[in-house]
Amino acid sequence: MKRSAKLAAALALLALPAAMAFAPVGPAAGADTAAAPAPAQAGQIVAMRRLTEAQYRNSIADIFGPDIRVSGRFEPIVRPVHEMIASGARRASISPTGLENFDAMARVIAAQVFDAQHRALFAPCAPADAKTADDRCAAQVLAPLGRYLFRRPLTLDEQAFYVRMAGAAAGKAGSFDKGLELALSAMLVSPNFLYVIERAEPDPANPGQLRLDNGTRATRLAMMLWNSAPNEALLKAAAEGRLTDQKQLEAAAAAMVSSPRFEQGLRAFFADMLLFEKFDELAKDPVVYPYFNQDVAQALPEQTLRTITDHLLTRNGDYRQLFTTSHTFMTRALGPVYQVPVHRAKGWEPYEFGPRDDRAGLIGQAGFLSLYSHSGRSSPTLRGRAIREVLMCQPVPNPPGNVNFTAVQDVHNKAMPTARIRLTAHNTDPVCAGCHKITDPVGLSLERFDGIGAWRASENDAPIDAGGMMDGVKFEGGAGLGKALSESPDTPICVASRALEYAVGKPPEDEALVERLVGDFAGSGYAIRALFLKVATMPETWRVTAPVLDNATHVSFAAPATMAGRTGR
Amino acid sequence: MAYDLSRRTALRGMLNGAGVVVGVPLLNAFLDGNGEALAATGAAVPVRFGTWFWGLGVNPNRWFPTKPGKDFDLPPELEPIRPFKDKINVFGNFNVPLDGAPNLPHTSGGVAVRTGIALTADRGLPGQSFDVTIGDQIGTRSRFRSLDVSAIGDARNSLSGRGGGNLNPSEGSAVALYQRIFGTGFQDPNSASFTPDPVTMARRSVLSGVAEQRQALQAAVGAEDRQKLDQYYTSVRQLENQLDVQLTRPEPLQACAVPHGAPAELTASGEIETVMKNHKLMTDLLVMALACDQTRVFNMMFNNGASTLTRIGSTITHHQLTHEEVLDNRLGYQPNATYFLTRIMEAWTSFVAALDAVKEGSRTLLDNTVVFAHSETEFAKFHTIDNMPMMTAGSGGGRIATGHYVDGIGTPVTRVGLTLQQALGVPVDRWGSKSMETSKPIAEIVAG
């Protein structure tokens, strides 16, 4: 089996000395003081990024096989406003409820891994007695699994610890396998698995500065480009210290963006950039939109992602044409929404819109159009705002807290049948007009698509004027807007700075760096592989400013103040 | 009642001079004597605390009473609470001064009520919410430290957490809530037999293992990550505690009647009838979780701040209506937006009624609970946050006096949070930050 071969190779590797030099700190439980690490010490943690649901699921599937079921609810990572979930992950802690769910998932996974059907894949040895502990065999099973899960070799202390835990449990349960199961559960709830832990070491090229170490590089490449745990090749490259070498780093990253697995990574990136978590809450009024149902809701993000990966990867297309392309994919559920025949009863088929459909790339898709609408009607303001904020990275201010909305008119008012007329009336108030001027002329060009993105020529029997304007340029309809977006310098800048943010876990602060990146992006003909390759190999993204080290004068197991109640038991 | 005089005197002392600090352990000493014991076992009835949130405020002129004190009036939108008027307090004229921080619509108000802090950027909670603080005080001996639910079905619909931008996620499905409380790991307190579950024992040892490895990480992290690690290990402790409770034989509880099975699955949506149904299912489960002592703290979110409630056939959400519906000149309010408020007050009253229907000794579950209900705006049309609508229901085992309309005369909203924390035994004498900092609890509702 492929997996057991992979594990055997991993085992062989264990014999090598651990190349990563983070200081193993002995579990001196109860110690009241611990020396604060000296600045720029190797192994210093510079970021802890919580695994997203997709990263967790992909890691489990890659390490244990896609037939291992992951069932449970994931604590959502809060998205900071105008930022990515990748940035939120850097701040996300794990609440008691979140941990309870991770704990439940861990037990379900561990039980499957060591069940009769799977155990042979992961256990290269047999215990002396299946009913009792066998430390040697337990180490052979747990060390490679731990290495995949923690994305680095286990320290000797860690390995001894999990072997001990497996042994104690095997004794109690009268089963060697039960012991392994328990130790694996413990790894799966460990912060070493649930967080991507980024570590730094002194940068020889920049004395006094830090750079991310080899192990961290392997993980970042894997998470950024494949949205999963690093594979054997990456772990090996890290162990051999090859990822701090610019040439070898470039070779590794180039192979990764050319791999079919890059599609999984690109999907995750766009799901984050395009705020796909909003699809979880997408609901439409069934009386107003009888064609909208759960099947449609599930097909919408998939249609968008298929369009993106087809255009950017299969066709190797220019990113800017993502706003003009007429190519997409259809599935049965979407037929009624787009009013097009879908031949296949199941699955997806390619589809090309005609010029009169006025559907231009992503912004002409029902996914975008329905997400930025109300539950019972379209919204030029929400659409315009999303185009500004999500596709062009131009934050639009919130309505001020004290706005008087009385000028806004009734939607059923016969004198104001269309959104354009209602919004114009609303904008007689100069306080409102300031922001609506940024959003509405953009969004009004999409008014020929209703609240679920279906075509319409009129609203309340009045014909729709789909004239639009952005940054002084006038245009007509979705096609006009798509062309304007594809010609705007802000769309490639936006995706480039998002790619940087996605890799590093915080919005870029260095404008010159973004400019250089955009220059290279342009030079590649706006090819997405080139962009991600560049982000992954720019030395700047691997440098870190050292965080202020906590004055760790008090390291103990004493509960924080919030736990005071516990002693009262 | 014997302590009435001394308690009031003590609190007046707090109100009048910052120098007089009444330590809450002292209050506790008073209060423990007031607790009733269950006839069956002699164990004290636990006190519970919870919140009940609704989004988009009220029509101030149709909701707030005009007469402060015990004989307060019930304007039309408050009329539904009439059957429980004696067990409810209503708070008006408590303000949310932001010290120049922006009023982030539908966010700043609710966060200020819960944390006493003015948000400066829209990124989750800036500090610990006081329901969590109270949970650390009263919730450590039950299986769950807190149960957090969202009737509108959104996990992100939450105002509870330990700060640092994080939120405790809400459970949005009644079926999942049932599984969590009464599924695997539930010990019926009234069951004749008790055997500690070997699976629970195994889980317990996994967690102690995780805790033991803390130091290796702790030694290498910076301040920001250390905070995150601390929160993670606090969660580990809570889960350990939860498992310890499951490994201990529970006290029999007269009021505990275990539901016979999971409710039927509802597809979550903002449609008001669905939300009402989900709220009812979740309320019944929550009430039994309290009666069976599975938790002593809860957060019920009825809808979200910028409420996505809808009505079948309407093109527009509750939130949209509050802004866009014209004020009906004849009525003086927005009839379609107000429809939702009426349903919300109906749901709130049904929540209070469900707690009051469970008998615990000579009292009811409501009497042994304090529920703090609040919104995130006063009048949603203009996003106003001063005069925040708030209520409490239940007396928390005699800790809170009820049946009052309290006029805050423009003092900060944090006084309510401070009063409730103190009443529930949190040792705190001032709470809130900047202009919201207060050391003045609300004397009228502190029971003697």
Q: What is the CATH number of the domain that holds B62?
A: 3.40.720
Instruction: Please check whether residues B379 and B331 belong to one and the same domain.
Output: yes
Among B155, B214, B327, select the one facing A406 at the smallest CB separation: B327
CB contact under 8 A, A557 and B214: yes
How large is the average pLDDT for residues B185-213? 85
More confident residue, B1 or B221: B221
Residues B422-444 have a mean pLDDT of: 95
Is the Cβ–Cβ distance between A282 and B317 less than 8 Å?
A: no
- In tens, the pLDDT along B359-399 reads 988 899 999 999 999 999 999 988 899 999 999 999 999 99
Phi and psi at residue A453, to the nearest 5°: 85, 15
Which amino acid would we find at residue B221? V
Does the structure show a pLDDT above 80 at B119?
yes
Which tokens go with A158? 């860690």
B277-295 pLDDT tens trace: 999 999 999 999 999 999 9
Q: Are residues B94 and B150 in the same domain?
A: yes
Confidence check: pLDDT of B412 > 90: yes
Q: Which residues contact B316 (CB under 8 A, 6 or more apart)?
A: A374, A375, A376, A377, A411, B310, B324
CA distances from B156 to A40, A314, B167, B168 (A): 38, 36, 8, 8
Phi-psi domain of A505 (left: phi exceeds 0; alpha: psi -120 through 50; beta: other): left
Please state, in angstroms and rounded to a whole number, the distance separating the CA atoms of residues B321 and B304. Answer: 15
Closest-CA residue of chain B to A397: B104
Question: Do B284 and B354 meet the contact criterion of CB atoms below 8 Å apart?
Answer: yes
Contact assignment for A375 to B145 by CB distance below 8 Å = no
Give the pLDDT confidence score for residue B378 in this predicted structure: 95
Q: Which residue has the higher pLDDT, B227 or A450?
A: A450
pLDDT of residue A547: 53
- CA-only gyration radius of chain B, Å: 22
Exposed e or buried b per residue across B376-415, where buried means at least 16 C-beta atoms within 10 angstroms of its C-beta: bbbbbbbbbbbbbbbbbbbbbbbbbbbbbbbbbeebbbbb
Contact B219 A287 (CB under 8 A): no
- One domain for residues B203 and B346: no
Domain final residue pick, B248, B277, B311: B248
**B184 φ/ψ sector (left φ>0, alpha ψ -120 to 50, else beta):** beta
Q: Which residue has the higher pLDDT, B163 or A325?
A: A325
Specify the pLDDT at position A175: 93
Closest CB to A401: pick one of B105, B217, B234: B105
A94 chain-B contacts, CB cut-off 8 A: 231-232, 235
Angle at A134 between CA A132 and CA A136, to 5 degrees: 175
Question: Pick from B136, B205, B315: which is nearest to A376 by CB?
Answer: B315
Q: Which of B395, B445, B393 is nearest to B416 (CA)?
A: B445
**Is A402's CB within 8 Å of B383's CB?**
yes
Can you say whether residue A65 is alpha, beta or left, with left for phi > 0 and alpha for psi between -120 and 50 degrees?
left
Q: How far apart are CA A119 and CA A111, in angstroms?
A: 10
Q: What is the mean pLDDT of chain B?
A: 86
Under 8 Å CB pairs connecting chains A and B tally to: 274
Edge-first strand listing for the sheet containing B147-150: B147-150, B297-301, B48-53, B369-374, B390-393, B88-92, B405-407
pTM of the model: 0.81
B72 alpha-carbon distance from chain centroid: 24
CB–CB of A307/A325 below 8 Å?
yes
Are residues B306 and B206 both part of a single domain? Answer: no
Residue A405 is predicted with a pLDDT of 52
CA distance B207 to chain A (A): 7
Per DSSP, helices labelled H in B357-408 are none
In whole angstroms, what is the distance from residue B135 CA to residue A566 CA? 11
- The number of CA neighbours under 13 Å toward the Cβ of B422 is 31
What's the average model confidence in pLDDT over B298-314?
90
In the predicted structure, residue B337 carries a pLDDT above the cut 50? yes
- Which residues from A are below 8 Å from B224, CB to CB? 91, 547
Residue A466 · residue A477 · CB < 8 Å:
yes
Q: First vs last Cα of chain B: how many Å apart?
A: 6
DSSP string across A307-356 = HHHIIIIIS---GGGGGT--EEEE-GGGHHHHT-----SSS-EEEE--GG
Give me the phi and psi of A57, to 5 degrees please.
-60, -45
Encode pLDDT of B77-107 as tens digits: 999 999 999 999 999 999 999 998 888 888 8
Contacts of B239 in chain A (CB under 8 A): 96, 99-100, 103
Distance from C-alpha of A218 to C-alpha of A230, rounded to nearest angstrom: 6
Beta-carbon contacts of residue B349 (< 8 Å; ≥ 6 apart): B80, B81, B83, B84
Tokens coding B180: 């969590």
Q: Are the C-beta atoms of residues A274 and A304 closer than 8 Å to each other?
A: yes
Rounded CA-CA distance A39/B341 in Å is 57
Q: Answer whether B124 sits within 8 Å of A78, measured CB to CB.
A: yes
Query: pLDDT at position B30, please?
Result: 31
A186/B210 touch (CB, cutoff 8 Å), yes or no: yes
Strand partners, B166: B163
* Residues 6 or more apart in contact with residue A140 via CB below 8 angstroms: A11, A123, A124, A125
Task: Please report residues of B whose CB lies closer than 8 A to that of A100.
Answer: 239, 242
Whether A31 and B216 have beta carbons less than 8 Å apart is answered as: no
Of B166, B315, B382, the CB nearest to A288: B315
Helix ranges restricted to H, B139-222:
174-182, 198-212, 214-218
Structure token digits, residue A81:
């406003």
How many whole angstroms separate alpha carbon A236 and alpha carbon A228? Answer: 16
What is the distance between the alpha carbons of residues A301 and A375, in angstroms, rounded to a whole number? 17
Domain count, chain B: 2
At A163 the pLDDT is 96
The alpha helices in B292-403, defined as continuous H runs, are 318-324, 335-356
Search chain A and give the residue with CA nearest B209. Answer: A186
User: How far, in Å, CA of A390 to CA of A362, rounded?
Assistant: 12
Last residue of a domain, one of B180, B213, B248: B248
Distance from the first to the final alpha carbon of chain A: 51
Residue with the two structure tokens 């315009």: A384
Q: Are strands B405-407 and B147-150 parallel, antiparallel or unpaired?
A: unpaired
Best residue in B206, B275, B308 for a mutation probing chain A (most A CBs within 10 Å): B206
| Phi and psi, residue A380, nearest 5° | -60, -30
Sort out which chain A residues have CB atoms less than 8 A from B296's CB and list them.
none
pLDDT of residue B269: 84
CA separation, residue A158 to residues A130, A150, B244 (Å): 24, 11, 26
CA distance B327 to chain A (A): 7
Domain boundaries, chain A: 42-212, 268-487, 489-544
State the nearest Cα–Cα gap between B183 and chain A, in angstroms.
12
Tokens, residue B250: 């529970």
DSSP bridge pairs for B53: B301, B374
Cα–Cα distance measured from residue A369 to residue A289, given in angstroms and rounded to the nearest whole number? 14
DSSP β-bridge partners for residue A328:
A351
Tokens (6 digits) for A94: 């794990």
Contact call for residues A358 and A364 (beta carbons, < 8 A): yes
Q: What pLDDT does residue A402 have?
A: 56
Distance between CA atoms of residues B382 and A397, nearest Å: 17
Mutation to test the B interface, candidates A84, A187, A212, A285, most B Cβ within 10 Å: A285
Q: Which residues of A touch B230 (CB under 8 A)?
A: 560
B265-to-A96, A284, A286, B262 alpha-carbon distances in Å: 25, 20, 19, 8
The Cβ of residue A335 has, within 10 Å, a number of other Cβ atoms equal to 15
Quick check: ipTM above 0.90?
no
Given a contact cutoff of 8 angstroms between Cβ atoms, the answer to whether A489 and A507 are in contact is no
Cβ–Cβ below 8 Å for A182 and B230: no
The CA-based dihedral angle spanning residues A136, A137, A142, A147, taken in that order and rounded to the nearest 10 degrees: 70
Domain that holds residue B239: 195-248
**Intervals of chain A under pLDDT 50:** 1-40, 406-410, 548, 550-569
pLDDT attached to residue A400: 64
Q: In this structure, are B182 and B267 located in the same domain?
A: yes
Which residue in B133, B420, B254 sits closest to A562, CA to CA? Answer: B133
Alpha helices in A174-205 (DSSP H): 176-189, 191-194
- Same domain for B179 and B239, yes or no, is no
